[in-house]
Structures are given as structure tokens and as C-alpha cells.
Chains A and B, each alone.
Chain A
Amino acid sequence: KAGVTQTPRYLIKTRGQQVTLSCSPISGHRSVSWYQQTPGQGLQFLFEYFSETQRNKGNFPGRFSGRQFSNSRSEMNVSTLELGDSALYLCASRQSTDTQYFGPGTRLTVL
């Protein structure tokens, strides 16, 4: 099976812009989670989607949103970008209750 894929791999934006990141899970996996990884804060959980519904949510402002499509692909959107949003954004997929498998991440740089 193909692994978790994320696009784009690298992204440069300026403050105030918005960005959309995409994640395609492993075939058959219905759960997709998003994480923000920074050197100072480590791995921070953003949200999880399961069967097109948000199942869990972390402590991030409303500028961070997501959705999941019927084919389990997921998108994450960040509006009104801030310098502090620069990070590696990781997507992970899994079957209903089991191991998470991570994608390679999208490196977002906000200038």
C-alpha cells in the first residue's frame, strides 16, 4: 500500500495570507490527524477527522480549520498567517483504533 502523502512539501507565504495543505491517507484508513511540529513546542495536536467528521480538536485558534472528504482525503487551512505559524505540519492516518502512520510533512515558512 502507498503511504500517507502530503502536498505541497514546502510552502512559503507572507503574513496575512491563507494556506491550504492536503493529506491523502493510506488506503482504507478513515482517520486523519494533523499535528504542528516546531523546535520549541514539539508535536502539537491540531485535530482529527474520522468519516468526514471532526472527532477531536486541540487547543489552536479558529484560524486553523480542516475538513475531510468522502474518500478520506483531508485538507487543513490556516487563515491570516502569523510568523509563529511557521512549522512542519504533519498528517497521520490510521484505521479506527490503531497505530498512526505519518506523512512526510509540509514545511510552511511565513515571512
Chain B
Amino acid sequence: AQTVTQSQPEMSVQEAETVTLSCTYDTSESDYYLFWYKQPPSRQMILVIRQEAYKQQNATENRFSVNFQKAAKSFSLKISDSQLGDAAMYFCACLLYNFNKFYFGSGTKLNVKP
């Protein structure tokens, strides 16, 4: 079975500090994509960052970067210089290319303290 696991239901970070959200996935497929989505309170879910499994280089988007460890099936999200607007639920997701199926983790609620 394909699964995506986020072991941290909730985390807190001080404004301007760095925080890392964990995500592990389990698949026997070789073609897949990994995503982090952000869902602010009562607001729309938006894409934070995307990683193709065949690419070794870790994806980065401004203050957001990932640590993709393919052998360990780990895909963590690092947020640098945390801002109040980063407070949200963060979901890790895996798209299996050959099955066109998305699998989502249970989410991590990130609190940012001023």
C-alpha cells in the first residue's frame, strides 16, 4: 500500500527562525512526484514546492527548500526565516505517475510565534 506519513501533528517556531517539517512515504513505484502544500486557516490550499523523484537536486523556492532522501523515502520541508504568514497546515503529498493517484499525509500544523 502507498502511504505518506507526517509524524508531527503540530510544531511551533519563533519568527525569523528555521523549522523543518518531516514527511516519509512508502511506494514501490519508481516514477513519482512529491509535493508540499500549505493551507492557511480558513484559506485556500496552495502549492509550496514540488520535487520530481528522478531529480537528485533538492527543490528550492525562496525561503522554502526540501531535503529529498530517495533511498530513505524521506521528503522534509525546511522553512527559513519563518514569518507569521507561514502559520498554516502543511500537507505532504505523493503523486504516482503511472497510476495518476495522489496520496496525502495527515498534515502538520505550524504555529509561528512573534
Contacts and interface: CB of A to CB of B under 8 A. Distances in A.
Interface string B8-48: 00000000000000000000000001010100000111110
Contacts of A104: 43-44
Contacts, number: 42
Nearest to A105: B44
10 contacts: A33-B102, A42-B105, A45-B102, A45-B104, A48-B100, A97-B97, A99-B35, A99-B50, A102-B44, A104-B44
Interface in A40-98: 42-43, 45, 48, 50, 55-56, 90, 97-98
4 tightest CB-CB pairs across the interface, nearest first?
A102-B45, A43-B104, A42-B106, A104-B44
Interface residues of A, number: 19
Interface of B: 33, 35, 37, 43-47, 50, 91, 93, 95, 97, 99-102, 104-107
Contacts of B95: 97, 100
B102 A100 contact: yes
* Interface residues of B, dominant DSSP: strand
Given A43-B91, A43-B107, A103 B44 contact: yes
Nearest to B91: A43
B34 to A, nearest CB: 11
A45 B103 CA distance: 8
A55 B46 CA distance: 24
A50 B100 CA distance: 10
Contact of A99 (B47, B97, B105): B47
Q: Which of B35, B50, B102 has the most CB of A within 10 A?
A: B102
Contacts of A97: 95, 97, 100
Contacts of B44: 102-105
B82 to A, nearest CB: 23
Nearest to A97: B97
A7 B46 CA distance: 18
Nearest to A4: B44
Q: Which of B97, B104, B107 has the most CB of A within 10 A?
A: B104
A73 B44 CA distance: 19
